[in-house]
Amino acid sequence: MKYISTRGKAPILTFEEAMLTGLARDGGLYLPESIPQMPSAEIAALAGLPYEEAAFRIMRPYIGDAFTDTEFQDIIARAYAGFAHAARAPVVQLAPGHHLLELFHGPTLAFKDFAMQLIGQLFEASLKRSGNRVCIVGATSGDTGSAAIDAFRGLEMVDVFILYPNGRVSEVQRRQMSTPAEDNVHALAMTGHFDDCQARVKDMFNDFAFRDEVGLAGVNSINWARVLAQVVYYFTSAVSLGAPQREVSFTVPTGNFGDIFAGYIAKRMGLPIDRLIVATNQNDILHRCLSGGDYIPDGVIPSISPSMDIQVSSNFERALFEAYGRDANATAQLMDELKAGGFTVSQGALEALRESFDSGRVSEEETRATIQRTWNETGELLCPHSAIGVHVAEQHLTPDVPMITLATAHPAKFPAAVEEASGQHPPLPLHMADLYERAERITEVDNDLGAIETLIKDRIAR
């Protein structure tokens, strides 16, 4: 299996190379050269399998000869061993024809654990073989950083530095980053906003001397291996509701478009998905684009669903590439126009997008009301992101096709917003009930590239 860039000017890579590289050298995103097909009988045979075995069968065609079957099975087993639910991604029913896919039973209580835990084990296995060490540097508004620190803590071949905006992440998110005791993971509280953290990370990647000296690597949501890990639960949940004999639809709380793009890949592999519905908060650039064709960023308004507060949705580039019939030049041109302020999707490409995707936008008020109403009607306490999914899904229910809404985080990760909306305080799950008592380890840093680079060099030289 080979991987190509959406912008057509980067080297063609293997799975392992694409995983270790993340972003293509031409600025594009990697995709498999062709999408493997999963025949109906193989999909039906997933019914009743442990999550790990289903994951192995679904992902196997993508990894080529990067790992033997036994190695890959061990990697998957280690990745999901720390989940607090035996089913890993259980489905519960909310209403007739409406189901919730609970993706928050991983170690940091958000769906990002599915991809990050796997990528941690993939990196470790690959680097142990080559003898190389890497230094992962990332910026986070909360969920990605905590998932990365948990996934890489204690691994031998990797150091991890996460920059987060000091004072601007939730207490649960901060503690998940600051309490792991392993000395290969480092939470750096930076002066400034998330955008500042992101900008310093970009600077480090553009500082080639530094980049080579420390072996910089990225694991942000454009990494193909993360998308791939997320394809699995579309299959397992659909099969539990009758696929492939029956079609299903999905509603996905969306920010960077990584999670819902995994659903699109599942559909292309042969899973009978009717609709893929993008649910956005008030930062609704994707909803506006899918409605009218214009993709014009206009500034982030902070919301109670902060993991979806985005201005530019990076994985959307992959969907555009497919909608333009895999035309890399057309994709590269759109991305150039984006740098100059925005672009308009062609009529043909917009129709192609709409063959798979619908969309909806949810206000802050509607989000709170959905948390409250769902609690009253079902006893399920939703996090604000999941509530946005549920609200949009309810507007797209049809009698014949079951709807599966992705619950992307545990309510206890966003306790203040959940309690304000519902009057219920969401308790932390038992396995992290002592989070507030654990010792924290935080390094405060200024918004100063040179100082941050020096700190990283000192820490990894230890």
Q: Residue 401 has what DSSP assignment?
A: S
Out of 308, 387, 393, 417, the only residue in the binding site for ligand PLP (CB under 6 A) is 308
Q: Name the residue nearer to ligand PLP (CB basis): 121 or 141.
A: 141
Q: Determine if 396 is a binding residue for ligand PLP (CB under 6 A).
A: no
Q: How far is the CB of 286 from ligand PLP (least distance, A)?
A: 9
CA-to-CA distance for 401 and 399, rounded, in angstroms?
Answer: 6
Q: Which is nearer to ligand PLP, 244 or 258 (CB)?
A: 258
For 291, other C-beta atoms within 10 Å of its C-beta total: 15
Q: Is 112 a catalytic residue?
A: yes
Output the smallest distance, CB 166 to ligand PLP, in A: 20
Residue 119 contacts residue 225 (beta carbons within 8 Å): yes
DSSP string, 332-373: HHHHHHHHTT-EE--HHHHHHHHHHEEEEE--HHHHHHHHHH
Sites for ligand PLP among residues 197-256 (CB under 6 A): 221, 253-256
Binding residue for ligand PLP, selected from 16, 102, 247, 259, defined by CB under 6 A: 259
The residue among 21 and 307 lying less far from ligand PLP, judged by its C-beta, is 307
User: Considering only residues 96-115, where is the footprint of ligand PLP by CB under 6 A?
Assistant: 110, 112
Q: Is 175 helix (H, G, I), strand (E, B) or coil?
A: helix
10 Å CB burial of residue 167 (0-12, 13-18, 19+) is: exposed
Secondary structure of 250-309 in HEC code, one letter for each residue = EEEECCCCHHHHHHHHHHHHCCCEEEEEEEECCCCHHHHHHHHCEECCCCCCCCCCHHHC
Residues 57-86 that bind ligand PLP (CB under 6 A): none
CB atoms within 10 A of CB 401: 17
Q: How far is the CB of 49 from ligand PLP (least distance, A)?
A: 25
Residue at 381: amino acid letter: L
Q: In the set 240, 281, 307, 370, which binds ligand PLP (CB under 6 A)?
A: 307
Nearer to ligand PLP, 46 or 385 (CB): 385
d(CA 446, CA 299): 24
Binding to ligand PLP (CB under 6 A) within 125-144 occurs at 143
Taking the complex as a whole, the smallest distance from the CB of residue 215 to ligand PLP amounts, in Å, to: 26
Size of the site for ligand PLP (CB under 6 A): 16
Least CB distance from residue 253 to ligand PLP, whole Å? 4
Integer angstrom CA distances of residue 363 from 87, 98, 248, 288, 413: 33, 21, 26, 14, 20
Tokens of 281: 């908060």
Closer to ligand PLP by CB, 43 or 388: give it: 388
Of the listed 112, 128, 413, 457, which one is catalytic? 112
What is the contact surface with ligand PLP in residues (CB under 6 A)? 110, 112, 143, 221, 253-259, 307-308, 385, 408-409
- Where in the sequence numbering do the catalytic residues fall? 112
